[in-house]
A and B are shown apart, each in its own frame.
Chain A
Amino acid sequence: MTESLIRVRDLQVVRKGRPICSVAALDIAPGDRLLVQGGNGSGKTTLLRVLAGLERDYDGQCELCAREIRRVYVHQSPCMLRGTVLDNVTMGLRGNGHSRHDLRVHAGRLVEQVGLTSLLDRPARQLSGGEQRRVAIARALAASPELLLLDEPFADLDADGGDAVCCLLASRPEMAVVIAAPGDTPLEKDTRIHRLECSG
C-alpha cells in the first residue's frame, strides 16, 4: 500500500464557539484524486486550508507523513498578482536559477495547456474570472506540487476551460489532487469522494 502524504484524524475547526469543519479520518496518498463535497458552510474551504497548512488553529491531527511536502492551494476566488500572465505563472519559479527564456518556455507550455496561449503577455488582472482561474491553476502547477488543492476550480469555467483543466490534471498522475466542490464535477473515473456535513 502506498504511504500517505497527509493523514487527518479527528480534525475539528472551531470558530467563535461553533464547529465549522469536522473530519473523522482522511488519508491522501500520492496520485490520489479526492473530491470534497458538501453544501455551503460544510467546511470544504476550511479543510483545504488545513491541508495546505494555511490554517493552523484546529483540534485533532493533520500530519504530513513524509518530509515537508510541496502543497499548493488555489483559492476559490484566485488572487492575481500585479504583472502579466507570464509573471504570475512563473512566480513560484523565480530565483531558482532558471533563465528568463526557460521561464517563458515553461510558462508558455502550461498556459497553452489551459488554453490561454495568446494571453501570456496580458496583465493578469485584466482577464475574465474564468481566465484568471485557469492562470491560477497553471501558476500552481508550475510550482510542481506533490499535493494540489483546488477550491471550486470549475466554478466559472466554460466547457472548454473545464476540459483543458481536467486534461492538465490527468497529465500529472503522480500528483495528488484534492478538489472542493458543492456538487458533481467533471473528474477522472477513480476519484474518491469525501462528503462533509454542515457542522453547525
Chain B
Amino acid sequence: MAFFLEGLTDAVQALLRLDPQVYAAAWRSVWVSSLALLLAGSVGVPVGIALARMSGPRARLLVIAIRASMALPTVFIGILCYGLFSRRGPLGPFDLLYTPWAIVIGELLLALPILIALTHGAIAALDPRVAETLTTLGVSRWQRCRTYVSEARRGIVVAVLSAYARCVTELGIAIIVGGNIKGRTRTLATATAMETGMGEFGRGLAMGLLLLLTALAISFAIGFLSREERT
C-alpha cells in the first residue's frame, strides 16, 4: 500500500510541476488522435449517412462487416500498418514507419468503422417521417444531409467522442508503427507502459491519470451533449 501511495504522490507531483516528458506525450496523443479523428470523421460521417439511406442485402452485409470491424484489436491494425509502411511494404517508399503520421493513419483506420457504424445507427434510428418530409418538400441533397446531421446530432456526437476515446487511449498501433521514440512518437499510452516497465511507477501513474482524466472528460462530454432536449 505504501508503494502505491508513494507512486500516487510522485504522480501528482509530476503533474503539478508540469513534467515536460509527461505533457509532451500527452500533447502528442491529443494532436495525433485529433488529426486522425478529423480525417476519419470527414469520411466516416458522410459514409454512415449514405449507408443509412441504402437498403437491400448488399447494404446490410456492408453494415455487418463494418460493425464487426469496430472490434478489431489495435495490435492487428498496428501489424497491418506495419506491413504497409515497412521498407518492403507497398507504402515503404514514403518512409512513414516510426513517424507520428503512421500513428495518425493507424488511428484513422481504428476510428473509421466506429464513426461509420455509429453514424449509420443514429441516422437509421431517426423517425422515418423526417426523410419523407424532406423528400416531399424537395430539399437539395446538401440540405438533406445537413438536416440528418442536425436531427441525429446526439448519436453523431457519441460516435465522434467514442472514436476519440478509442484513439487517444490505444497502445497497439502507437507502439508497433510509432516505435515509442522519445520526442517523436511517444504517446501517453506507450509512455505509460514504458515508464512502468522501467520502474518509474510514479511517472507511469501520472500518465495513466492523464489518460483516465481524458477518458472521464470524454465520458462527461458524451453525457452532456447526448442529454435529451428539454421541450
Contacts and interface: CB of A to CB of B under 8 A. Distances in A.
B140 interface: yes
Nearest to A94: B143
Nearest to A82: B150
Interface string A36-60: 0000000000000000111000000
B139 A95 contact: yes
Nearest to B230: A126
A139 interface: yes
Given A81-B147, A81-B151, A143 B129 contact: no
B231 A82 contact: no
Nearest to A49: B132
Contacts, number: 55
Interface string A123-155: 101100000000000011001000000000000
A81 B130 contact: yes
- Dominant SS among interface residues on chain A: loop
Interface residues of B, number: 19
B147 to A, nearest CB: 6
Contacts of B231: 123, 125-126
Interface string B140-160: 101100010011000000000
A143 B137 CA distance: 6
A54 B135 contact: yes
Interface in A62-98: 70-73, 75, 77-79, 81-83, 91-92, 94-95
A92 B137 CA distance: 5
B129 A70 contact: no
Contacts of A54: 132, 135-136
Given A82-B151, A123-B231, A126-B231, A91 B129 contact: no
Nearest to B153: A82
Nearest to A144: B138
A94 to B, nearest CB: 6
- Dominant SS among interface residues on chain B: helix
Interface string B189-212: 000000000000000000000000
B133 A70 contact: no
A94 B133 contact: no
Nearest to B129: A79
Q: What 4 A-B pairs have minimum CB-CB distances, sorted nearest first? A: A92-B137, A79-B129, A73-B136, A95-B140
B66 to A, nearest CB: 27
Interface of A: 52-54, 70-73, 75, 77-79, 81-83, 91-92, 94-95, 123, 125-126, 139-140, 143
Given A81-B147, A91-B143, A140-B137, 15 more contacts: A54-B132, A54-B136, A70-B138, A72-B138, A79-B133, A82-B150, A91-B133, A91-B134, A91-B137, A91-B147, A92-B137, A92-B139, A94-B139, A95-B143, A143-B138
Contacts of A92: 137-139
Nearest to B150: A82
Contacts of B138: 70, 72, 92, 143
Nearest to B135: A54
Q: Which of A52, A71, A94 has the most CB of B within 10 A?
A: A94
Interface in B77-131: 127, 129-130
Contacts of B135: 53-54
Nearest to A92: B137
Contacts of A70: 138
Given A81-B130, A82-B150, A139 B143 contact: no
Nearest to A72: B136
Interface in B32-84: none
B54 to A, nearest CB: 16
Contacts of B150: 81-83
A75 B133 contact: yes
B136 to A, nearest CB: 5
